[in-house]
Amino acid sequence: MAAALGGLGLLQGRVRLAAVAAAASPLSRRLVRGGAACSPAGRGYSSEAKGEEELRVRYLDDENQGIVVLGLNRSHAKNALNKNLIKMMSKAMDALKSDKKVRTVIFRSEVPGIFCAGADLKERAKMHSSEVSSFVSKARATINEMANLPVPTIAAIDGTALGGGLELALACDIRVAASSAKMGLVETKLAIIPGAAPGAAGQPHCSPSSGPGSSQAAGALVSQAATPQNTSLPCSPQSGGTQRLPRIIGVSLAKELIFSARIVDGEEARAIGLISHVVEQNDSGDAAYRRALALAQEFLPQGPLAIRVAKLAINQGMEVDLVTGLAIEEACYAQTIPTKDRIEGLLAFKEKRPPRYKGE
């Protein structure tokens, strides 16, 4: 084991977290300070969102700087996933994953009472079979891009999340829901299976072998993930509902929910571990969003590079055996040693003051 881990030492000074080297997002530079079209809970937003946009991208200001809110906004279609919305989400992912100023992303709905109703079946009914295949592949790739964002992601579920809508939430690191929210993978009712986010065609799955060579494989995975050319996390589950749900709530419960197409409320979702927090809905209909924002605020004071590397270690480690996972952890830990943030943390502790991290 020691000899194998020694190979990982070669990564030190060679492997860099991609977000450090990435330039700030062009999208963020275009944002207009003081933004308009804010929700009641949206004070401090910077935004260029317009009322007709199906996806609103908002960068928060002031004490919430570093938090980005993506709001689904197809009120006439219950936020159903259509070609245009998927295209906008993909563009947003491209911008966010390379923006080192982003600290946390919150996914929410701008439409009261609904998170996302899943695929836009009306649009799909008009598609040729070849178009359906192309659309599903794009949707899968986009939701995988969400899962692979290098920063924490939180789904704020203030309303109904069904089918692909729940799969979107499953791709987030953390889920928060109102007690009145309804959630379920209902695809078997339509004689299909959950799968809005399986791996895109030709995209390799992460399957490093265990055994003597697993540590070298772990090093290779960390190296692949942490190069400037690759800002996504390569080894999170490359699948949708049939793959992510069992990893979150366990195999037996996941089978039960998928086989029955059962819909659960926020309280039951919390009881089975589908969500992390459940809150009573408020008069504004945004209780889950407010709780998600409070969680994001807890992340802001922490070392931004450390959080990114911690997510990388967890995501990769969950897909391999424990020995390989520990090797991944060691390789990831090594990336925090030469950072200015680590030195700042030690100085702040010694001087008994809050640290001033810069993500360096």
Describe the crossing of helices 304-317 and 214-225 by its angle, rounded to 10 degrees.
140
37 CB burial (10 A radius; 0-12, 13-18, 19+): middle
Query: What is the Cα–Cα distance from 163 to 186, expressed in whole angstroms?
Result: 6
- Residues (pLDDT < 70) of the chain are 1-52, 196-239
pLDDT of residue 134: 82
**Mean pLDDT taken over the chain:** 79
Cα 178 from chain centroid? 19
The catalytically annotated residue of 53, 54, 187, 329 is 187
The question of whether 344 is a catalytic residue gets the answer no
Report pLDDT for 107: 97
Phi and psi angles of residue 53, each rounded to the nearest 5 degrees, phi first? -70, 135
63 flagged as catalytic: no
Residue tagged active-site, from 54, 145, 167, 329: 167
pLDDT at 327: 95
Residue 137 is predicted with a pLDDT of 84
Indicate the helix (H) or strand (E) that contains 87. helix 83-97
Among 119, 156, 177, 331, the one annotated catalytic:
119
Does the model's pTM come out above 0.95? no
For residue 187, indicate whether it is catalytic: yes
Place of tokens 């100085």: 347
Active site residue 164: yes
How many whole angstroms separate alpha carbon 16 and alpha carbon 332? 10
Catalytic one among 164, 241, 285, 359?
164
